[in-house]
Amino acid sequence: GAGVSQSPSNKVTEKGKDVELRCDPISGHTALYWYRQSLGQGLEFLIYFQGNSAPDKSGLPSDRFSAERTGGSVSTLTIQRTQQEDSAVYLCASSLGSGGNQPQHFGDGTRLSIL
Amino acid sequence: GESVGLHLPTLSVQEGDNSIINCAYSNSASDYFIWYKQESGKGPQFIIDIRSNMDKRQGQRVTVLLNKTVKHLSLQIAATQPGDSAVYFCAEIYSGSARQLTFGSGTQLTVLP
């Protein structure tokens, strides 16, 4: 499809396990973002990638969270030793260029539930 | 408008009426604003954007108004339809330095038959 694709759509795991969430951005979009959305809340920024530049990790809540972007395209968000407070919807977005005045287009997210 | 806590502001309108959703943004330096629509189980969907050198922008059935003096943004939806029922978020960014959007907490729009 032409939009941002995320997988899995749902993930249920036990506390303490590691999880990997995947994002395929829109083709040609050089900027990629991860956000987290808790129930009934707005979106919380996690991390931003632009081309080959060093990512902006300023939103990551702890060192259990990390992300990679391979080949300037697909990105993986990894959460190690998951905790119950990590339960949320994790949303990925992409945009053209690095300018802050480009609209970000979102995938449908991964709903993560930690038991 | 904006809310604190887990309870979203709600707006109920009759089908066919016009809707106005309000947002108070936080950063006076923000120069780019976006309205998103989010349906249950979906990601935010881009509706319309506006730059700070404008005070009004129109799209198909939607109009965004920007008042920088009071840091206020509004989304007007003409002839509201059942498919417009969703949560609406405003988002802001200062394009000079930031790259991530700052989102408001959203407004739940319900269209009544």
Q: Which one has a higher pLDDT value, B8 or A31?
A: A31
For range A50-58, the mean pLDDT: 88
Q: Which one has a higher pLDDT value, A42 or A16?
A: A16
Task: Supply the pLDDT for residue B1.
Answer: 38
Give the chain B residue whose CA is nearest to the CA of A108: B43
Task: Supply the pLDDT for residue A71.
Answer: 82
Q: Residue B4: pLDDT above 90?
A: no
Q: Which of A42, A48, A104 sits opposite B104 (nearest CB)?
A: A42
Chain B CB within 8 Å of residue A67 CB: no
Answer for the pair A68, A47: CB distance below 8 angstroms, yes or no: no
Q: List the structure tokens of A27.
A: 């083709």
Q: Residue B14: pLDDT above 90?
A: yes
What is the distance between the alpha carbons of residues A73 and B69, in angstroms, rounded to a whole number?
Answer: 40
Task: Supply the pLDDT for residue A41.
Answer: 76
Contact B34 A91 (CB under 8 A): no
pLDDT digits (tens, 9 = 90+) for A55-107: 999 999 999 999 999 887 999 999 999 999 999 999 999 999 766 678 999 99
Strand B86-93, strand A88-95: pairing: unpaired
What is the distance between the alpha carbons of residues A91 and B43, in angstroms, rounded to a whole number?
Answer: 7
Q: Which of A4, A42, A56 sits opposite B99 (nearest CB)?
A: A56
* Sequence letter at residue A30: T
Q: Which one has a higher pLDDT value, A39 or A10?
A: A10
For residue B44, the chain A residues in CB contact (below 8 A) are: 43, 91, 106
Which class for B101: exposed (0-12), middle (13-18), buried (19 or more C-beta within 10 A)? buried
pLDDT digits (tens, 9 = 90+) for B29-68: 899 999 999 999 999 999 999 999 999 999 999 999 999 9
Number of other residues whose CB lies within 10 A of the CB of residue B75: 24
